[in-house]
Amino acid sequence: MICVQTGKLEAAAATLKQCKQTLQHIQYLQCSLHQKLPLAKSLQSELHELIKQVNESLCYVQDSLKSYMETERRLTKQAQKIERMSKKPYQFMKSDVRVHSTLDRDRSLVDFIKNGVCIGVFGGLDVVSFRKEVHSKYVGGGIKGALGSVDASFDAKGMLFDGKHFSPSAKLEASFKAAIGSVGMFANIGNSWLSAAAKGDVYVGSVRGEAKAVIRKDEVTLKADVGASAIRGEVEGSIQLFGIKITLTGIGEVGSVGASAEFSSKKESLLLVPVRHC
């Protein structure tokens, strides 16, 4: 954000006010001395000249201050204009890549053995994206859209101990989502004590896939789910009251097709769900 500071000009205005008060005191002193003491003409002349010079200096400072404040006002206006122009509501080839892991060099070998390791990667790309937001003190909202969007994520976690017992385990999760186009709206109202929020997204020509694997000493679970839909809608609403948050979500699809499969040695069963149409 571009910002022009005004603190120094405000301080200069206060100093100017104090100087004017001092000049009034000097003028009052001159009148008092002239009435009570027979001052020499030379001294009166010097005092008069001093008052004249101080008054001229104050006028110069006042004119300069007005000029500076007017310049500041124009600069602030131009800065706000430049800032609005720099915030384009649309972007081309917008990408986002995030990585998190516990592979920290500062961790000890004991910490690795005791708490395990995890790593996650998220990547997203929008060929064309649009976002416009409006915010005030208690109310906010906006609209967003994208053409040619792709999102993918991967998470992995491995551990050697379950508490104090040796129990090697691994958990892998991966997801993929793409859409020809999408549009969404979001809004929120309230403060930190009481607030409500809602958002909705509609995807056109979307495909998605999810896979999950859990491997433990007494369990092997494999799960996969893929699907595609002509139109897919997702809505979410939440209410927060004194730190307690309640969230409701809903999903609807038109012209969808998909399939899923799951195997679990813990349940000793293999579940295959055939292709579904909606």
d(CA 171, CA 220): 10
Mean per-residue pLDDT of the chain: 78
Rounded mean pLDDT, 99-106? 82
pTM of the model: 0.57
d(CA 175, CA 259): 15
Beta strands in 163-243 (DSSP E): 165-190, 194-216, 219-241
Predicted local confidence at residue 84, as pLDDT: 59
Q: For residue 97, which of 179, 149, 153, 180 has the smallest C-alpha distance?
A: 153
Who has greater pLDDT, 278 or 195?
A: 195
Measured over the CA atoms of residue 78, residue 79, residue 83 and residue 84, the dihedral's sign is negative
CB count, 10 Å around CB of 179?
A: 22
d(CA 216, CA 169): 4
Q: How confident is the model at residue 153 (pLDDT cuts 50, 70, 90)?
A: very high
Q: Which of 32-41, 145-154, 209-218, 228-237 has the lowest mean pLDDT?
A: 32-41
Q: Are 175 and 152 in contact (CB under 8 A)?
A: yes
- Go through 38-48 and write b for each residue having 16 or more CB atoms within 10 A of its CB, e for each that does not: eeeeeeeeebe
Q: What is the pLDDT of residues 55-82, one digit of tens each?
A: 777 777 777 777 777 877 787 777 766 6
Q: Which two tokens stand for residue 51?
A: 């008052």
Predicted local confidence at residue 278, as pLDDT: 52
Measured over the CA atoms of residue 128, residue 140, residue 246 and residue 233, the dihedral's sign is negative
Beta strands in 136-164 (DSSP E): 139-162
Pairing of strands 139-162, 165-190: antiparallel
Predicted local confidence at residue 277, as pLDDT: 47
pLDDT at 157 over 80: yes
Rounded mean pLDDT, 160-170? 82
d(CA 99, CA 104): 13
d(CA 230, CA 252): 11
Predicted local confidence at residue 179, as pLDDT: 93
Rounded mean pLDDT, 5-25? 57
Share of the chain above pLDDT 70, in %: 74
pLDDT at 36 over 60: no
Who has greater pLDDT, 165 or 229?
A: 229
Measured at the alpha carbon of residue 76, what is the angle toward residues 87 and 130, in degrees to the nearest 5? 10
| H helix and E strand count, the chain | 3, 8
Q: Which two tokens stand for residue 42?
A: 């030379």
Q: What is the pLDDT of residues 223-242, one digit of tens each?
A: 888 889 899 999 999 998 88
What residues form DSSP beta bridges with 54?
none
φ/ψ (deg, to 5) at 202? -125, 125
Q: For residue 142, which of 131, 129, 153 has the smallest C-alpha distance?
A: 131
In the numeric block, the tokens 């930190």 are attached to: 192
Predicted local confidence at residue 21, as pLDDT: 64
Predicted local confidence at residue 275, as pLDDT: 46
Q: Are 23 and 54 in contact (CB under 8 A)?
A: yes
pLDDT at 166 over 60: yes
Measured over the CA atoms of residue 61, residue 67, residue 72 and residue 75, the dihedral's sign is negative
DSSP, collapsed to helix, strand or coil, labels residue 184 as strand
First-to-final CA distance of the chain:
48
